Amino acid sequence: MSLYTKDITLSADSPKELLLEKHVEFITKYGKSEDDYEFGMTDYLRISGMYWGLTALELVDKLQTLPQAEVVLFIKKCQDEDTGGISACINHDPHLLHTLSAVQILCTYDQLDKINTDRVVDYVVSLQQPDGSFTELLLEKHVEFITKYGKSEDDYEFGMTDYLRISGMYWGLTALELVDKLQTLPQAEVVLFIKKCQDEDTGGISACINHDPHLLHTLSAVQILCTYDQLDKINTDRVVDYVVSLQQPDGSFTGDKWGEVDTRFSFCAVATLALLNRLDAIDVEKAVAFVESCKNFDGGFGSRPLSESHAGLIYCCLGFLSITNRLDIVNREALAWWLCERQLPSGGLNGRPEKLPDVCYSWWVLSSLTILGRLHWINASALKSFILACQDVETGGFSDRPGDIPDPYHTLFGLAALSLLGSNCIKPVNPTFCMPQHVIDRLKIKYQLL
Amino acid sequence: MHGRLKVRTTEEQQLLKRKEQQKKLIAYRMGMKQILDSRKPVNPDIYTLWNYRKEVALLEINSNINIEETEKLSNFLENELKLTEQCLLANPKSYSSWHHRYWILEHNPEANWKKEFDLCTKYLTMDDRNFHCWDFRRLVLNKVGITLGDEIKFSTDRININFSNYSSWHYRSTLKALTEECVEDELTIVKSALFTDPADSSAWFYLRWILSDPIVNTEHKEDLLDNLNQLLEIEPDCRWILIAKCWLIQDLHADKSNYVKEQIDCYRKLEEIDLLRKGHYSDKLNKLLSAN
C-alpha cells in the first residue's frame, strides 16, 4: 500500500451524523442573503452556484424552499441574445459552464420551454473546434478590444502610432469582419479618412493625413475599400499609376520613391493591382524573375536576392506567386519541411530557426503552408492552444506571446490563423490576401493554391 | 510591438500611468506638430520624417557642389550617419534607419565604405542573427570591392564560434557554388557541426542543401550514412538523424526492399517521437507504402 504523506486527521469532535436540516437552512439562506459579502462577490459563478444549491436541496427533497419562478426568470435573463449561450449572471458574458448549469436547473424544474433551447444548441455547436475539442475563444472581448482601440483618439498607444494608421485600420477592421462585427466601426468616417490620405501628386496612399504615400498603406487602404465595397470612393486609376511608378528595371518594387527594395513590396504591388483587376499594368514576368532571384538554399525566400529566409517574407513571396499564378517555381517539399519545422514544443510557430514563437507567425507560416497544400504538416491543436493562450482575458485582444500586451496586429493574425485551422465562429479567411474569403469571391479575384 | 511583458498594476497605478501617458501624448502631439512643420525623427519608424531628412539632404548636396564647401557637406552627412547609429542602437530592426544609412552613404562621394564594412563585422559579432545587418553587409561588400567568395573565411570563423547560427549557414550557402575542390571541406564542416550537437537544427538544413547537389557523389553519401548510423547509436531518439537517414536511403537505395523497410521504420519512429509533425511523416510513409 502506498503511503500518503499529505493528508489530514479527523478530530474526535467532528460531526458523525448527517445534519440534513442544517444543510437545507445553509443553502436556502445562502441564496437569499443578497447583501452578504460572499454572495455579492460570487456573481461571476451565480448560475453554477444555483445549480449546486438547487440540486443539493432536491436530493434531500426540499426543492420547494427555493422560489422557482424567480430562478427561472433569472436564467431567462442570462441568455445572451447574440450567441444563445448563458452567462453566470445578468450582464456577464455567456460561457459553456453556466449554459450546462442553467439547462440542468431547468430540467430539474421541467421548465426547459422557458428559454430558447435552439439558440443554446447553436451556442454549443459554435464552440466545437475542428479537432473535436471545446476551447474557449473570447470573441466578444476581442470585438470590444478592437472597437475601443479605434475610438480612443486620446489613448497613448493610439496617438503614438499615427505613422501606421491605415495599416492599423486594416488589421482591426479585417479582424472585426472575420467575426461578423464590422458594423461596429463607422464606415463613412473610415472611407473619408482613406480618401484624404490619397496623395494628389503620386496617387499613392499615406499612413495618415500629412504623411507621405507608401505602398504598404496603399495596399491596406485598397483592402479596406474592397471589404467595404467602396473602391469607387478613391481614384483607383491614380493608385495603379503609383504602383506602376515603383517598379524597377530588374522587376523589383520599392516601397516609395526613396528606393528601399524588398519582396514585401513586390507582394503589396501585385496584391493591390489584383484587387483593382489591373495586373496587366506592370511587367509581371520581370516581377516574377525578381522574386525567383530571392529564393534560397532552404527553399525559402528573403527580402532581397541572397537575403536569409524569413517566414514573413516567405508569405509575401508565396502570396505574390499565388496571385501571379507562378507557384511552379517553388521548391514545394523543401519549403514545406522548413515551414513545419517552425513549430516548437509550446505549439507556437517561430519565423526563423532558433527564434521565439509569436502569434503573427501563426499567420505567416500557416498561410504559406495552406498555399502549398501542406497545412496538415503541423499540429493544429497544439498551435490552437498556443494562440488561445495569447488572448488577454481582461481586455480582449491577442499578444505576441502569453502574458504580453495585446495589439490589433496580433489580434488579426491570431483570429486569421484560427480561421485557417477551421473554426465555427470565425469566417473563412483567404490565405493569399489575408481578407475575408467572401470579399475575394465577390470580387472574383483569381489566386493559385497547390 | 513584440515582447512587452504585461505587468499587473493597481487601479491607482493605472490612473497615475494614464496621467503620465496623457502628458506624454500631449507632448508627442505638440512635438509631432512642430516636427511636421520643421520635421526630425523621434521614433525611427516614422517613415515620413526620414523622407523629409532625405529631402533636406538633397538640398544640401545640390547647394554644396563647390570644392570649398565639401567639408560642410561631409559634416552634414556624418551627422546623419550618427543619427541612424543612435536609432539603430535603440531599435536594431528599424527598416527605415537601415535604409536611411545606406541612402546617405550612397549620396556621399567621400563615403568611407571600409569603415562601414568593419562596423558590420563588429555588429555581427554582437548579434549574428540580425538579417538587416547581413543584408547591409552584402550592399557594402560591392562598394569595398570584396567578392562574396572572399567571405568564406568570415563565414567559417562565424560558424566555428557558434555552430547553432542559422544566419551564418545561410550566408555560407550564398558565397559560392559547390565544386569538386571544396565539397570535401563543406562536408567536413557540416559533419563536425552535426556531431557536436545533433539536436541543433541549423546544420541539418545546410546538409539537406548540400545533398541536393549532384557534386556530392555516392561515395560521400555512403560514408555519411555510416556516420549517421554510428551517431544514431549514441542518440537513438534524435529526430534529425532519422530524417537525414531517410534522405540518404531515398537517394542511394530506393530500389532495395531491406533499405525501404529501414526507411519505413524510421518514419514510424518519427511519427511516435515527433507528434508536432506527424502529418509530414505520415505523407512520407504513405508514399513509400503505396510505391512498394
The residue among A237, A238, A239, A257 whose CA lies nearest residue A247 is: A257
pLDDT digits (tens, 9 = 90+) for A171-182: 999 999 999 999
- What is the structure's pLDDT at B12? 77
Task: List the grid coordinates of B29.
Answer: 502631439
Rounded CA separation A416/A142 (Å): 13
How confident is the model over A172-199, as a mean pLDDT? 93
Q: Using the predicted structure, report yes or no on whether residue B160 has a pLDDT greater than 80.
A: yes
| pLDDT band, residue A383 (cuts 50/70/90) | very high
In the block, cell 531517410 appears at: B246
pLDDT digits (tens, 9 = 90+) for B243-262: 999 999 999 988 888 999 99
- What is the structure's pLDDT at A2? 40
Task: List the grid coordinates of A187.
Answer: 464606415
Q: How far is A437 from chain B (nearest CA, A)?
A: 26
Q: Using the predicted structure, report yes or no on whether residue A148 has a pLDDT greater than 60.
A: yes
Q: How far is A427 from chain B (nearest CA, A)?
A: 25
- Contact (CB, 8 A) for A273 and A243: yes
Beta strands A429-430 and A435-436: pairing type? Answer: antiparallel
Q: Please, what's the b/e burial string for B56-95 (b: 16 or more CB within 10 A of its CB; e: otherwise)?
A: ebeeeeeebeeeeeeeebbebbeebbebbeebbeeeeebb
Residues sharing a CB contact under 8 Å with residue B240, sequence separation 6 or more, in sequence order: B194, B198, B199, B201, B204
Query: Sign of the C-alpha dihedral, residues A218, A326, A348, A363?
Result: positive
In the block, cell 515620413 appears at: B48
DSSP A65-90: GS-HHHHHHHHHHHB-TTT--BBSST
pLDDT digits (tens, 9 = 90+) for A159-170: 677 888 899 999
> Which among B48, B134, B275 has CB closest to A379?
B275
> Which among A156, A340, A358 has CB closest to B21?
A156
pLDDT digits (tens, 9 = 90+) for A332-362: 999 999 999 999 998 999 999 999 999 999 8
> Which among B5, B167, B277 has CB closest to A308?
B167
Q: Using the predicted structure, report yes or no on whether residue A381 has a pLDDT greater than 80.
A: yes
Rounded CA separation A188/A196 (Å): 12
Contact B166 A382 (CB under 8 A): no
In chain B, where the domains are located: 177-292
Give chain A's radius of gyration (CA, Å). 27
The ipTM of this complex is 0.85
- What is the structure's pLDDT at A154? 66
Tell me which of A1 and B159 has the higher pLDDT.
B159
Q: What's the whole-model pTM score?
A: 0.79
- What is the structure's pLDDT at B149? 84
- Contact (CB, 8 A) for B129 and B158: no
Q: CB contact, 8 Å: B22 with chain A? A: yes
- What is the structure's pLDDT at B40? 46
How many beta-carbon pairs under 8 angstroms link A with B? 146
Task: Return mean pLDDT, chain A.
Answer: 90
Rounded CA separation B144/B274 (Å): 47
Q: Using the predicted structure, report yes or no on whether residue A39 has a pLDDT greater than 90.
A: no
pLDDT digits (tens, 9 = 90+) for B191-241: 999 999 999 999 999 999 999 999 999 999 999 999 999 999 999 999 999
How confident is the model over B44-55, as a mean pLDDT? 86
Q: How far is A171 from chain B (nearest CA, A)?
A: 14
Range with lowest mean pLDDT among A235-244, A346-355, B53-62, B273-282? B53-62
Tell me which of B7 and A436 has the higher pLDDT.
A436
The residue among A397, A357, A353, A398 whose CA lies nearest residue A379 is: A357
> Chain A residues with CB inside 8 Å of B277's CB?
340-341, 343, 377-379
CATH superfamily entry for domain B177-292: Protein prenylyltransferase (1.25.40.120)
Rounded CA separation A330/A177 (Å): 32
> Which among A156, A159, A258 has CB closest to B103?
A258
- Contact (CB, 8 A) for B206 and B173: yes
Contact B4 A404 (CB under 8 A): yes
Residues sharing a CB contact under 8 Å with residue A394, sequence separation 6 or more, in sequence order: none
- Contact (CB, 8 A) for B162 and B196: no
Tell me which of A396 and A376 has the higher pLDDT.
A376
- What is the structure's pLDDT at A27? 80
Q: How far is A400 from chain B (nearest CA, A)?
A: 6
> Which among A159, A338, A377 has CB closest to B25?
A159
Contact A307 B283 (CB under 8 A): no
Contact A405 B4 (CB under 8 A): yes
- What is the structure's pLDDT at A358? 94
Rounded CA separation A22/A357 (Å): 55
Q: CB contact, 8 Å: B51 with chain A? A: yes
List beta partners, residue A213. Answer: A206
Contact A407 B135 (CB under 8 A): no
- What is the structure's pLDDT at B32? 58
Contact B25 A304 (CB under 8 A): no
Q: How far is A374 from chain B (nearest CA, A)?
A: 8
pLDDT digits (tens, 9 = 90+) for A235-255: 999 999 999 999 999 999 999
3-state SS class at A407: strand
A339 Cα distance to chain centroid: 21
Contact B277 A378 (CB under 8 A): yes
- What is the structure's pLDDT at B187? 95
In the block, cell 524569413 appears at: A310
- What is the structure's pLDDT at B63? 76
Q: Using the predicted structure, report yes or no on whether residue B26 has a pLDDT greater than 80.
A: no
Rounded CA separation A360/A365 (Å): 9
- What is the structure's pLDDT at B29? 62
- Helix, strand, coil tally for chain A in percent (to 5): 55, 5, 40
Contact A304 B174 (CB under 8 A): no
Separation in Å, CA B90 to CA B24, B167, B278: 19, 22, 42
Task: List the grid coordinates of A275.
Answer: 484587387
> Which among B21, B54, B202 has CB closest to A258?
B54
